Amino acid sequence: MEGQRKTALITGSAKGLGKMTALLLAERGTDIVLNYVHSEKEAFELREAIRRKGVRCEAVQGSVSVPEDRERLIREAVRHFGSIDILINNAGPFIRERRLFMEYELGEINELMQGNLLGVMHLDHLVIPMMRRKQWGRIIHFGFGHAAEARGWPHRAAYAAAKVGLVSFTKTLAVEEASEGITVNMICPGDIRGANKERTIGEVEHLQDDESPRGRPGTGEDIARVIAFLCEERSDFITGNIMDVSGGLDPIRAMIGSGSVQTAASGTKKQP
């Protein structure tokens, strides 16, 4: 596969971390399949910006929580580009409101599990045969800080369970597919919020973030740079890793240490 143009499918890539990853991979000569649910305007604007970089790009609507949408997403990607060499499972539903497990509706639990675990497994299952045929592939999963430790995360029970399950799946799949030239790794972003998801390191390196041990806010570029490295030709010896890209922040321990693990109505200060 060395020297050949590659195609990357990035779920949830119209905005935020997925957008920054798409832009960086495009700058390095990778064709891009964008994915969005509701952000059609942003997806089409990004598609045009990526095309101006001299690579091919398409945008496909669909939710990773819906099996039929996942299958259509892969079909459309293959129709446009022939195959998928890089799969970046960036999208995943998250409920920002803090709630005890018993305060979730069953439908919400199912959506969190589908979008963050089962949907990821399904997409991997669909693309691995294409990667095996080429004896080359890169799969990236997304977790949360310290997910590999499988600690409890109060008020995030379903989301955390899905991501911790994905840790085990990442490590298993990495071993099973290593001989096929396919690497599988997980990126665990720090608490990167709001506009910082689409900022570069240069835009924030002089800003102060008192919650971050590094001292500055994290950015989308911090995440995109690690993903781009893992997708390089000679990164084939790096597989099955769970990588915290967090500036040293441990959001779960910080939240528990504050004594804020109460009910959703307790009025806590932070929402990790």
pLDDT digits (tens, 9 = 90+) for 144-191: 988 888 888 899 999 999 999 999 999 999 999 999 999 999 999 988
Q: Could you tell me the pTM of the whole model? A: 0.90
d(CA 260, CA 254): 10
What is the per-residue pLDDT across 207-254, written as a single tens digit (0 to 9) for each?
888 888 888 888 999 999 999 999 999 999 999 999 999 888 887 765
d(CA 31, CA 93): 26
CA angle 97, 101, 104 (to 5 degrees): 65
CATH number belonging to domain 7-266:
3.40.50.720
Among 21-35, 69-83, 126-140, 237-251, which is the least confidently predicted range?
A: 237-251
Judge whether residue 67 has pLDDT over 70: yes
- 118 three-class SS: helix
Chain-centroid distance of CA 98 in Å reads 21
A 10 A CB-CB count for 202 gives 9
H-helix segments, the chain: 16-27, 40-51, 67-81, 106-113, 119-134, 157-177, 201-204, 220-230, 251-257
Residue ranges of the domains in the chain? 7-266
Mean pLDDT of the chain: 91
